Structure 1
Amino acid sequence: MKIKGNMTVRIIIALIAGIAIGSFFNLYQDASWVKWINQYVFNVIGQIFLNLIFMLVVPVVFVSIVLGVLGVGDPKHLGSIGLKTISFFLVTTALAITLAMSLALVFKPGEGKSDLLNSDEVKTYAEEQKKKAAEAEAEGSPANQTFDQTLINLIPKNPVLAMSETNMLQVITFAIFIGIGMIALREKVSAVKLLFEQTNEILMFIVTAIMQYFAPLGTFGLVATAFTNAGFGAIKQLAMYFFVVLLGLFLHMILVYGGAVSFLARRNPIWFFKGFAPAMTVGFSSSSSNATLPISLECAQDNLEVRKEISSFVQPLGATINMDGTAIMQGVATIFISQISGVDLTLGQMVTVVVIAVVASIGTAGVPGAGLVMLAMVLTSVGLNPAAIGIILGIDRLLDMTRTAVNISGDAACAVVISEQEKRYLAKKGMKVA
């Protein structure tokens, strides 16, 4: 089974319907009948669809990474692909936040909005964060994971526990070790290799079936409940901030990803965006890179002709460490908060923001709202009050949907670039391209 074009159209129709109906319901969000429909219809439909996808995330990632490593074959070649992948992600993330900060400095979304710092949202957010920090301290766990802890936690103490907790970096690490072990043992584990290949076929069949029969309805439910809760009303005061973030996301998608596909992969960017559209719509509705991963893999392999071993390695890794859309939000938000606070950031501080955001993106969970945790780290690093995040909370859910679509598009763009480069490399060597 493959994701078909008519299904993409149905998802887009469902997405538009969800936005329209959710926005209308937002006008009456305090009415009891709206609350009932939102909770027992929109939310139930959306969460069931999301759980169906989340159910497959860990097995799909684990099996895909193992098969990806096996497909590459040579551990040295795997290291080369890994280095290219991480370099692509880090460079594009740095470009994303630099673009975002530049746009914010030009459009000045926070100018003349200093009164927002006295809002109830700021006070409420500050109180909530104090409670969370106190709870984390009582449990003996840090509120924010530092970079050195991220490196240490790459290796799972208990792989089964890592899978149950959806710790994707640890799942990926364990899968890489399993794949390398199978390469070393070769024919001795041919039965295990066949088991992984057949398991992958089953998982991809289930993913495609979910997309064909549940995706439009699930997309409608998720988008409808998001817009019923948030609506466009909250955008009025923060219209310029909202506009600058969306502009940054759009320009990054077209210029950086479109440019990478055109110049590095030598493929048509329109072909890329059209082929990846189903995953982008699911990413928009779910606000989760991890939840969208099974669909992202299917789209990349079937629609974008990415070699399975490349897609299986690059995209799961990207869902964990590649957060360009999130970086754009952080760049705009940092300048926005500095402007309403009356603080002019120095060049050195802006460079610090870029570095911290790029480093912090590694290990950040691919789930809704994770970007706000990263933003708090960025603001603290340049002496700005993280409680000001409360100002943008009202519209962050809407922006989170858009930046997730950008995040997963970056993963796919990287997979296309590396896959096409590998095809050209094999062709020069006179080897048959699988």
Structure 2
Amino acid sequence: MWKKYKKSPLHIKIIAGLVAGIIFAVVSSALGISQFTVDWIDPFGTIFIRALKMIAVPLVLFSIIKGITGLHDVSKLGRLGLKTILIYLVTTVTAVSIGLALVNTVQPGKLVDENQRIENRRAYENWVAQKDGVELIDGEQKVASESGEAVESKPASGPDLSDKMEQAKKQKEAGPLQFLVDMVPGNLFLSLSNNGLMLQVICFALFFGVCLLSIEKKYAKPVIDFVDGMNEVFLKMVDVIMKAAPFFVFALLAGVVSKMAGDDPGKVIEIFKGLGWYSLTVVVGLAAMVFGIYPLVLTSLKKKMSYKKFFKALGPAQMLAFSTSSSAATLPVTMECVNENLKVPKSISSFVLPIGATVNMDGTSLYQAVAVIFLAQFHMVDLTLGQQLMIILTATLASIGSAAVPSAGLIMLIIVLESVGLNPAWIAIIFPVDRILDMCRTVVNVTGDATVSTIIAQSEGELAKD
């Protein structure tokens, strides 16, 4: 059995670690020793994520510079950039549209207790009455107010929620060109030490790489050699860390489930039962992207790429994305899978994938669309087609600015809710299931990045034949 396991591909080992982690957490919860798991097992999962993040930022820096210097033609850089952004926008709008189609068909917010929905509507109307400059989004008072105080259907409190509300407020108050300001690092070393500032690292790497191509070869060559060497070192570090990935994934999942369940494993079931239809709608939408849209596109580009080969090629990156909930932390492994398994040249992947980890959030934008409509339905709020189209636009733009870190989508969701005149505190309702759904949508984000890099390579005539 052990010999068979040792010979298994990495993605199979990661799946085994993932399942073992969940089983261990449920058993420890049933035995009343969840705190042991949180104290002694979960820290190894945290170490794993930190190790990957430690590598991710410098790897992005050196990979992009290496990719640009490998182009030799600066005009090609502009063409690549334009193609990358356009295709990422297309996949994001597709994801949001699928989410809206599903949530309007299933209508998960209406599949809950009617009395609860009436109370939710009363809370919404009271909130509007107390909020200056906000009107009922559907223009009519459906429930008579019992008092002047809003009563939320779920407690909208807690340090995590307050934090995210504050971050969303700062982001919303920023000027229209703030995103351009945020792209330029004021201090490169600060940007390198903060995964949330990945866009600044990309901006610096692009500028540095272009300038490196513009100077005399005798000065550029030693710098290029240094960059190439550093890039290889960080790729080797990825290989070393990934050898222990199954154990680290076990620790991650054991910690996540133990924190949710405590000493009562039934809590996890109860959480999903209350938000079951919502969770199912999100998961079906995400599955449509991962098992439908992306494989269809990729198998049409690579004639010998079968459905099975597609998931075998991206398996390690997908499993890691599910475990870490972070596109940035998964980036080193995504690059390895795309280069070695999909045969995309490093000159393409080192440019497209880091940008994708920052601006391409297909899974996040789909989730935001479903979440907003679900919350509106849950509070008996009817959104028009125009308002739903506004959600598509806002969710698409919000996903571009979403940091490639766990639960960053919640911050963007607050902005989307406010953009259509709904109470941002409603995110407390879906907060209990967000971590698990975040793991699922990160798989979509990473798979989308890999698919787009393959499309770009094919369009440039640089996709290696099978």
Alpha-carbon shift at residue 124 of structure 1 (Å): 2.9
Task: Kindly indicate whether the alpha-carbon contact (under 8 Å) linking 1:265 and 1:417 is maintained by their aligned counterparts in 2.
Answer: no
1:399-423 CA distances to partner (integer Å, 9 max, x unpaired)? 1111111101100111111112323
Q: Tell me which amino acid in the other structure corresponds to 1:193.
A: I
Task: Kindly indicate whether the alpha-carbon contact (under 8 Å) linking 1:147 and 1:359 is maintained by their aligned counterparts in 2.
Answer: no
**3-state SS of the aligned residue for 1:125?**
coil
Aligned counterpart, 1:60 = 59
Aligned counterpart, 2:139 = none
* TM-score normalised to structure 1 length: 0.90
Aligned counterpart, 1:154 = 183
* 2:229 maps to 1:198: yes
1:180-239 CA distances to partner (integer Å, 9 max, x unpaired)? 111112512101111111111111111011101x20111011111112222333101111
* 2:423 maps to 1:385: yes
Alpha-carbon shift at residue 131 of structure 1 (Å): 7.1
**Structure 2: gaps spanning 5 or more residues:** 1-6, 124-150, 261-267
- Once residues 216 and 190 of structure 1 are traced to their aligned partners in structure 2, the CA distance between those partners, rounded to angstroms, is 40
Alpha-carbon shift at residue 146 of structure 1 (Å): 5.8
* 2:321 maps to 1:283: yes
Pairing of 1:32-431 with structure 2 (within 5 A) = 33-41=33-41, 43-113=42-112, 115=116, 117=120, 122-125=154-157, 148-166=177-195, 167-187=197-217, 188-212=219-243, 214-230=244-260, 231-264=268-301, 266=303, 267-423=305-461
Aligned counterpart, 1:430 = none
Alpha-carbon shift at residue 135 of structure 1 (Å): 9.2
- Once residues 166 and 354 of structure 2 are traced to their aligned partners in structure 1, the CA distance between those partners, rounded to angstroms, is 33
1:380-403 CA distances to partner (integer Å, 9 max, x unpaired)? 111111111111111110111111
- Once residues 122 and 197 of structure 1 are traced to their aligned partners in structure 2, the CA distance between those partners, rounded to angstroms, is 53
- Once residues 28 and 343 of structure 2 are traced to their aligned partners in structure 1, the CA distance between those partners, rounded to angstroms, is 41
Alpha-carbon shift at residue 163 of structure 1 (Å): 1.2
Task: Kindly indicate whether the alpha-carbon contact (under 8 Å) linking 1:265 and 1:416 is maintained by their aligned counterparts in 2.
Answer: no
Q: Tell me which amino acid in the other structure corresponds to 1:123.
A: P
Task: Kindly indicate whether the alpha-carbon contact (under 8 Å) linking 2:165 and 2:411 is maintained by their aligned counterparts in 1.
Answer: no
Q: How many residues align?
A: 416
Check 1:318–1:134 CA distance in 2 against 1; reply closer, same or farther (3 A cut): closer
Aligned mate of 1:11, from 8, 11, 14: 14
Supply the RMSD in Å over aligned alpha carbons.
Answer: 2.4
Q: Tell me which amino acid in the other structure corresponds to 1:34.
A: S
Task: Kindly indicate whether the alpha-carbon contact (under 8 Å) linking 2:164 and 2:410 is maintained by their aligned counterparts in 1.
Answer: no
Alpha-carbon shift at residue 367 of structure 1 (Å): 0.4
Task: Kindly indicate whether the alpha-carbon contact (under 8 Å) linking 1:276 and 1:300 is maintained by their aligned counterparts in 2.
Answer: yes
- Once residues 155 and 202 of structure 1 are traced to their aligned partners in structure 2, the CA distance between those partners, rounded to angstroms, is 27
Q: Tell me which amino acid in the other structure corresponds to 1:124.
A: A
Check 1:103–1:306 CA distance in 2 against 1; reply closer, same or farther (3 A cut): same
Check 1:146–1:224 CA distance in 2 against 1; reply closer, same or farther (3 A cut): farther
* TM-score normalised to structure 2 length: 0.84
Q: Tell me which amino acid in the other structure corresponds to 2:410.
A: L
Task: Kindly indicate whether the alpha-carbon contact (under 8 Å) linking 1:321 and 1:364 is maintained by their aligned counterparts in 2.
Answer: yes
- Once residues 128 and 7 of structure 1 are traced to their aligned partners in structure 2, the CA distance between those partners, rounded to angstroms, is 34
1:62-86 CA distances to partner (integer Å, 9 max, x unpaired)? 0001011112221211111111111
Alpha-carbon shift at residue 332 of structure 1 (Å): 1.0
**Structure 1: gaps spanning 5 or more residues:** 428-432
1:254-312 CA distances to partner (integer Å, 9 max, x unpaired)? 33212221334554343222101001111100001111111111111112111001110
Task: Kindly indicate whether the alpha-carbon contact (under 8 Å) linking 1:287 and 1:367 is maintained by their aligned counterparts in 2.
Answer: yes
Alpha-carbon shift at residue 127 of structure 1 (Å): 8.6
Aligned counterpart, 2:146 = none
**3-state SS of the aligned residue for 2:61?**
helix
- Once residues 396 and 327 of structure 2 are traced to their aligned partners in structure 1, the CA distance between those partners, rounded to angstroms, is 17
Check 1:134–1:301 CA distance in 2 against 1; reply closer, same or farther (3 A cut): closer
Check 1:285–1:162 CA distance in 2 against 1; reply closer, same or farther (3 A cut): same
Task: Kindly indicate whether the alpha-carbon contact (under 8 Å) linking 1:68 and 1:310 is maintained by their aligned counterparts in 2.
Answer: yes
1:79-133 CA distances to partner (integer Å, 9 max, x unpaired)? 1111111111111111111101110111111104362747877333389756776
- Once residues 388 and 225 of structure 2 are traced to their aligned partners in structure 1, the CA distance between those partners, rounded to angstroms, is 51
- Once residues 35 and 283 of structure 2 are traced to their aligned partners in structure 1, the CA distance between those partners, rounded to angstroms, is 29
- Once residues 129 and 242 of structure 1 are traced to their aligned partners in structure 2, the CA distance between those partners, rounded to angstroms, is 20
Task: Kindly indicate whether the alpha-carbon contact (under 8 Å) linking 2:321 and 2:330 is maintained by their aligned counterparts in 1.
Answer: yes
Check 1:272–1:332 CA distance in 2 against 1; reply closer, same or farther (3 A cut): same
Alpha-carbon shift at residue 151 of structure 1 (Å): 1.8
Check 1:21–1:145 CA distance in 2 against 1; reply closer, same or farther (3 A cut): farther
Task: Kindly indicate whether the alpha-carbon contact (under 8 Å) linking 1:23 and 1:232 is maintained by their aligned counterparts in 2.
Answer: no
Q: Tell me which amino acid in the other structure corresponds to 2:58.
A: P
Q: Tell me which amino acid in the other structure corresponds to 2:82.
A: L
Check 1:165–1:413 CA distance in 2 against 1; reply closer, same or farther (3 A cut): same
Check 1:269–1:183 CA distance in 2 against 1; reply closer, same or farther (3 A cut): farther
1:147-184 CA distances to partner (integer Å, 9 max, x unpaired)? 52112211112222211223100000000011111111
- Once residues 303 and 107 of structure 1 are traced to their aligned partners in structure 2, the CA distance between those partners, rounded to angstroms, is 37
Check 1:146–1:395 CA distance in 2 against 1; reply closer, same or farther (3 A cut): farther
1:298-338 CA distances to partner (integer Å, 9 max, x unpaired)? 11111211100111011110000011111111111111111
